[in-house]
């Protein structure tokens, strides 16, 4: 049996062998694996300790905590590889060595962060994970950049704010301060010791929008992925009740009637955007990959995009939930990169909110930009072409930009009504 030191040495040597040195570097994706939000929920439901959970309820723990955490980790790693194509993305959940204890894993990954990490990605729920907290602390100690899943830099103030929100959430769920302290190590508070970074105690509007959409899409994929692909195989000129056009306009019209100033109107707009994201995911599965983000519509895509990248990414006839989630992660990474090419991280939306005063009706700015420009171009070119897929991708990214602008100007989103 390998001991912890041997495993650590082997992992570090392997990373060096594949070129994860100073030139390439590792993007380390910090993910909950055996702890996190799901563990807290199960501990509360069973009313037991962590030790009891892992000995007497091991099957339930693996099924309800570890297995879904691993699925999430795979999705976050795929997104990170798309966001950082010139970096070696490391997903720690892929390593399982018989006989290693949690403390051994903590030590291993902290050593990797010290020796090879160029940056650390703090995924959702990092603040509820013991391992992620230790990794974030290590990155802070070593001065490694920490970013969220959308590429936004997280400074010390952001991290302490995330810690506070996690603790407030647990307290609202009935956990005591002493119970939280026993399960979660404290986050280092090094504010004032490193460079001055933007103070953001709350998530930005784009983060709220994308997180809501990710949760909504993960729910929808479980039930509608095959139906979506059937819809995509039909003509995009179709406007019947089974078409993408009909589904999009159903929520668009409801949002227009309810108004962006109301919670209901913003919820309908978010549902509209989720449908657009689902459409783009299906287009990628059925017809092939997208061109790189931030390429103008006037560019010659045949010149810019190699043939090797024009492959289909899903097997729609036998589509699994994992395959659907993988394509979803790729699409969200594309949307995040598209936005970051035009908007500085942590800033307000690029489009002036005065356009919202025109409403969503025909002739209004947002309707013209979405349907008269990108939708019509995509339909004319066809989703089977790279240029057509680019137009549908720009249609979807503009939907996200509209949702972000509405959250910025009109107010937040109501909570989703169902969870996985």
169 in the same domain as 231: no
Within the chain, how many helices (H) and strands (E) appear? 17, 4
154 in the same domain as 29: yes
Total domain count, the chain: 2
Between CA 366 and CA 273 the distance in angstroms is 13
Residue 198 lies in a domain: no
**Strand, helix or coil at 28?**
strand
pTM for this one? 0.64
Task: Look at residues 132, 149, 183 and tell me which one is the last residue of a structural domain.
Answer: 183
- CATH code for the domain of 63: 3.40.50
244 in the same domain as 120: no
Q: pLDDT digit of tens for each residue in the chain (420 aa)? A: 556 677 767 766 766 655 544 456 789 999 999 999 999 999 999 999 999 999 999 999 999 999 888 888 887 888 888 778 788 899 999 888 887 888 888 888 888 888 888 899 998 889 999 999 999 999 999 888 999 877 778 889 889 988 998 999 999 999 999 999 999 999 987 655 544 444 444 667 887 888 889 888 888 888 888 899 999 999 899 999 999 999 999 999 999 999 999 999 999 999 999 999 999 999 999 998 888 787 777 666 655 444 434 445 554 455 666 667 778 877 887 888 787 666 654 455 555 567 888 889 999 999 999 999 999 999 999 999 999 999 999 999 999 999 999 998 899 888 776 544
217 in the same domain as 256: yes
Beta strands in 4-142 (DSSP E): 26-30, 88-90, 117-122
C-beta atoms surrounding 308 within 10 Å? 7
Q: What is the pLDDT of residue 226?
A: 87
Residue 74 lies in a domain: yes
* DSSP assignment string, 332-381: HHHHHHHHHTTS-TTSPPSS-GGGGGG-SSTTSHHHIIIIIIIIHHHHHH
Domain of residue 39, residue span: 4-183
138 in the same domain as 75: yes
Residue 10 lies in a domain: yes
Residue 346 lies in a domain: yes
Residue 199 lies in a domain: no
Q: What is the pLDDT of residue 389?
A: 94
Strand duo 26-30 + 146-148: pairing: unpaired
176 in the same domain as 215: no
Q: Which residues contact 288 (CB under 8 A, 6 or more apart)?
A: 310, 311, 312, 313, 384, 386, 389
339 in the same domain as 221: yes
Q: What is the pLDDT of residue 83?
A: 79
Q: What is the pLDDT of residue 168?
A: 93
222 in the same domain as 177: no
Residue 178 lies in a domain: yes
Residue 325 lies in a domain: yes
Q: What is the pLDDT of residue 112?
A: 85
388 in the same domain as 357: yes
172 in the same domain as 91: yes
103 in the same domain as 249: no
Q: What is the pLDDT of residue 203?
A: 65
263 in the same domain as 175: no
Residue 39 lies in a domain: yes
Tokens of 168: 């407030």
């Amino acid at each position: 049996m390998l001991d912890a030191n041997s495993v650590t040495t082997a992992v570090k040597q392997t990373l060096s062998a594949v070129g994860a040195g100073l030139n390439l570097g590792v993007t380390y994706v910090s993910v909950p694996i055996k702890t996190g939000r799901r563990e807290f929920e199960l501990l509360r439901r069973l009313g037991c300790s962590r030790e009891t959970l892992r000995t007497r309820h091991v099957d339930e723990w693996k099924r309800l905590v570890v297995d879904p955490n691993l699925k999430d980790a795979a999705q976050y790693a795929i997104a990170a590889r798309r966001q950082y194509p010139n970096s070696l993305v490391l997903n720690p959940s892929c390593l399982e060595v018989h006989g290693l204890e949690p403390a051994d894993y903590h030590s291993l990954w902290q050593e990797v962060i010290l020796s090879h990490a160029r940056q650390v990605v703090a995924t959702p729920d990092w603040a509820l994970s013991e391992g992620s907290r230790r990794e974030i602390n290590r990155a802070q100690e070593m001065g490694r950049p920490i970013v969220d899943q959308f590429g936004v830099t997280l400074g010390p103030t952001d991290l302490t704010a995330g810690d506070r929100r996690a603790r407030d959430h647990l307290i609202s769920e009935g956990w005591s301060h002493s119970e939280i302290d026993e399960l979660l190590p404290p986050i280092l508070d090094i504010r004032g010791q490193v460079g001055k970074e933007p103070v953001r105690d709350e998530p930005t509007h784009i983060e709220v929008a994308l997180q809501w959409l990710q949760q909504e899409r993960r729910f929808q994929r479980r039930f509608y992925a095959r139906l979506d692909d059937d819809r995509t195989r039909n003509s995009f000129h179709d406007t019947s009740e089974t078409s993408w056009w009909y589904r999009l306009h159903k929520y668009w019209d409801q949002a227009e009637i309810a108004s962006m100033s109301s919670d209901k109107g913003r919820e309908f707009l978010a549902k509209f955007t989720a449908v657009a994201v689902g459409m783009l995911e299906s287009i990628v599965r059925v017809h092939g990959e997208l061109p790189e983000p931030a390429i103008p519509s006037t560019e010659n895509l045949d010149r810019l995009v190699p043939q090797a990248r024009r492959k289909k990414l899903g097997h729609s006839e036998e589509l699994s939930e994992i395959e659907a989630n993988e394509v979803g992660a790729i699409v969200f990474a594309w949307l995040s990169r598209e936005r970051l090419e035009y908007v500085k991280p942590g800033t307000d939306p690029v489009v002036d909110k005065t356009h919202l005063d025109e409403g969503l009706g025909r002739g209004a700015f947002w309707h013209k930009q979405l349907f008269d420009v990108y939708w019509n171009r995509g339909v004319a070119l066809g989703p089977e072409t790279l240029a057509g897929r680019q137009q549908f991708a720009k249609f979807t990214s503009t939907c996200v930009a509209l949702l972000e602008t509405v959250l910025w100007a009109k107010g937040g989103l109501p909570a989703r009504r169902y969870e996985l």
